[in-house]
Structure 1
Amino acid sequence: MGHIDREFHTAPDRQLLDAYSQTISHAVELIGPSVAQITVGANGRGGQGSGFVISPDGLIVTNNHVVADAKSVRVRMQDGVASEARVLGRDPDTDIALIRTDTSLGVAAPLGNSKNLKRGQIAVAIGNPLGFEWTVTAGVISALGRSMRAQNGRLIDDVIQTDAALNPGNSGGPLISSAGEVIGVNTAVIRGAQGIAFAVASNTANYVISEILRFGHVRRAYIGVAADTVALPRHIAVRAGVIAQTSVRIRRLEPDGPAERAGLQEGDLVLSIDDQPVEGVDDLIRLMNGDRINKPTEFLVLPVGNVIAKRVVTPSARP
């Protein structure tokens, strides 16, 4: 009787595990062929990293720190196709770089909308950690809207925290959802920590890619804040006249920066900018583009414990 009971209770568990495995395998089948191994340095003996194709004509996203000032970049795909590549543009502030191969690759990975992510959902990383080619690891999204420092010391906002295992060589590879969309660009691990890894959100990566394709670099307006994505209570959203479940809370202000001079304070919620809703740090990054430099910009904010107010901030060029 006990044997029958054990079979009864374990059958649903097996079904759940099978469904989990099939979900991950399907996502990997969709995105895996677009993941590239990237080698920099003469004769392919330099450092290695990962990347992923976003356009069949050979556009590849990777990390800025993977290609850095490399004189030569070589790309190899899962099917064995290898090609030389050139760097189209780099953005040290987000650790994103865009390269193009000399040959058409015929595969591409779709960029998903990172604004729709939720903590606890499946996250899968594909890359070339420690020289082990096209390795797959899986976990969950641990947190959203994190900030971390890039190698140049600047804060990268809108970072995804995951427990999917990442190691040196995963840098630049895709973090993907169970639907087979790229939701982040794997960028860093905390040395000495257990299972804490990070990826730049896909919406931020998409903005950087578009700027590089248009201008060769990323133009940015500067207001001098560090911020986090936080939940927005419904009663505040109703009062502000916005339809949103999340917003941005100012965590730190640069002394004498444009935001501080305009009267913004630590703890303020930024609800909208020039009547455009701000639902996350990625919106703040996107709206602070080069077109707003030296242009008075209206921020709708909720100061701590006070009523909703408007502040006019005049962004400067990013120093």
Structure 2
Amino acid sequence: MRRERGVWQVLLIIFILGALIGGFIGSVGGYYLLNKNSPASSETKINNVVPTQEVYIPSSLGAFEKDIVAVVKKSMPAVVNISTITLVEDFFFGIYPSSGVGSGFIIDPKGYILTNYHVVEGARKIDVTLSEGKKYSGRVVGYDKRSDLAVIKIDAENLPALPLGDSDKLEPGQFAIAIGNPYGLNRTVTLGIVSALNRTIVEPNGVRLENLIQTDAAINPGNSGGPLINIKGEVIGINTAIKSDAQGIGFAIPINKAKQIADKLIKEGKITYPWLGIRGYAITSDMLDYIKFPVDKGVVIAEVVPGSPADKAGLKGGDRIIYVDSTQIIVGGDIITKIDGKPVESMEELRSEIQKRKVGDTVVITYIRSGKEYTVKIQLEAMPDNLSG
């Protein structure tokens, strides 16, 4: 047995060596014949490779690119750099100057510029630099903390102004171009799309901004106040905020809202908001699994601000606290179901309806108390500067 196994092992080794030697000879011979019969074949293969810089671009894509470039060239002269100096108090109560940078854009050839309020908030000195490099001293004409908008003015005439579009006609998927000065990098252009509409955020200073445009066009510190432009070169929004713990999520104030506020700021210098004076929350389907409300839709009043129109009209806030999945909920208050006969299901809807009215207007509020429906007339007053609702 051992001898037979040894013979087979020797034969196997001879077979493997023969295969290796034969393969080597075949490869060398093939290579020789190939070069002998086709001396330029390797050169021909190299010449047939298409260089990467000559990649074919469809004419429609090229036209789109030209449109983007044209829009940027046309818009750029109306986009400005805003530099500010504010006085800041340190830990030891010392005062020192702090510089800031933001963006803005010209909305009137007479030198009116729209930007974010937080760009010029508390500024002792404002410098506005135009696209060609000329610098002007700017002054605040008016501002509105609640919308985070401000209008500043420079002493210049015949300036290029950007056309304003219609943000009510926007749809997710439309192209969006952001122009601004992120981190002081002047005249930076980024391209994206309208990612979503009607977003709500709360800024670091506590200001609640609603009905915002969400975009993935890159927005960074310094972009604030700059324009968000559509493919036609029209301003559709004012770049305002980003989600700092994410990428590609930026927010812009719709231009239709900004137009109304800018006009009032230019004419009156301030914005006066009508006010009801409540804090509340919407009844949701999840709540109904844990809390027995007399209705399944409406706004539960958690708190009525003392001295507010709602307080004067006799509306009541909650009187006890319950916990649902570790969440504190104030219950027992009146439930608002309608304003002037129109159903409301959330604080956003109620606030939106209130903002459609003017200070001094009277509204009819329909509410539920102890399972019964009531109505009350409330005269809206001007909202105090330090409050909202």
TM-score (norm 2): 0.61
Where does residue 363 of structure 2 map in the other structure? 297
Q: Structure 1, unaligned stretches of length 5 or more?
A: 4-9, 228-248, 274-279, 301-309
> How does 1:1-319 map onto structure 2 within 5 Å?
14-41=58-85, 46-104=99-157, 106-223=159-276, 224=278, 255-256=303-304, 258=310, 261=315, 264-265=336-337, 284=353, 287-288=356-357, 291-293=358-360, 295-297=361-363, 314-319=379-384
For residues 184 and 131 of structure 1, the distance between their equivalents in structure 2, rounded to whole angstroms, comes to: 21
Q: Structure 2, unaligned stretches of length 5 or more?
A: 1-47, 49-54, 87-96, 282-296, 316-333, 344-348, 367-374, 385-389
For residues 201 and 260 of structure 1, the distance between their equivalents in structure 2, rounded to whole angstroms, comes to: 36
Q: Which amino acid aligns with 2:359?
A: R
Per the TM alignment, residue 113 of structure 1 is displaced from its structure 2 partner at its CA by 1.5
After superposition, give the CA deviation of every residue in 1:200-219 in whole Å (9 maximum; x if it has no partner).
Answer: 11111112112212221111
Give the CA RMSD over aligned residues: 3.7
> Conserved in 2, the CA contact under 8 Å of 1:92 and 1:150?
no
> Conserved in 1, the CA contact under 8 Å of 2:217 and 2:248?
yes
Give the secondary-structure state (helix, strand or coil) at the position aligned to 1:180.
coil
Give the secondary-structure state (helix, strand or coil) at the position aligned to 1:212.
helix
Give the secondary-structure state (helix, strand or coil) at the position aligned to 1:165.
coil
Sequence identity of aligned pairs in percent? Answer: 35
Give the greater-gyration-radius structure (CA).
2
| Shift in CA distance, 286/15, structure 1 to aligned 2, threshold 3 Å | farther
| Shift in CA distance, 45/151, structure 1 to aligned 2, threshold 3 Å | closer
Give the secondary-structure state (helix, strand or coil) at the position aligned to 2:219.
coil
> Conserved in 2, the CA contact under 8 Å of 1:33 and 1:78?
yes
Per the TM alignment, residue 30 of structure 1 is displaced from its structure 2 partner at its CA by 2.6
Relative CO higher for 1 or 2, CA cutoff 8 Å, sep ≥ 6?
A: 1
Per the TM alignment, residue 317 of structure 1 is displaced from its structure 2 partner at its CA by 2.4
| Shift in CA distance, 58/217, structure 1 to aligned 2, threshold 3 Å | same
Q: Which amino acid aligns with 2:304?
A: D
After superposition, give the CA deviation of every residue in 1:214-237 in whole Å (9 maximum; x if it has no partner).
Answer: 22111101245799xxxxxxxxxx
Give the secondary-structure state (helix, strand or coil) at the position aligned to 1:37.
strand
Per the TM alignment, residue 149 of structure 1 is displaced from its structure 2 partner at its CA by 1.6
> Conserved in 1, the CA contact under 8 Å of 2:339 and 2:364?
no
TM-score (norm 1): 0.73
After superposition, give the CA deviation of every residue in 1:81-122 in whole Å (9 maximum; x if it has no partner).
Answer: 211110111111111111000222521012212111111101
> Conserved in 2, the CA contact under 8 Å of 1:264 and 1:311?
no
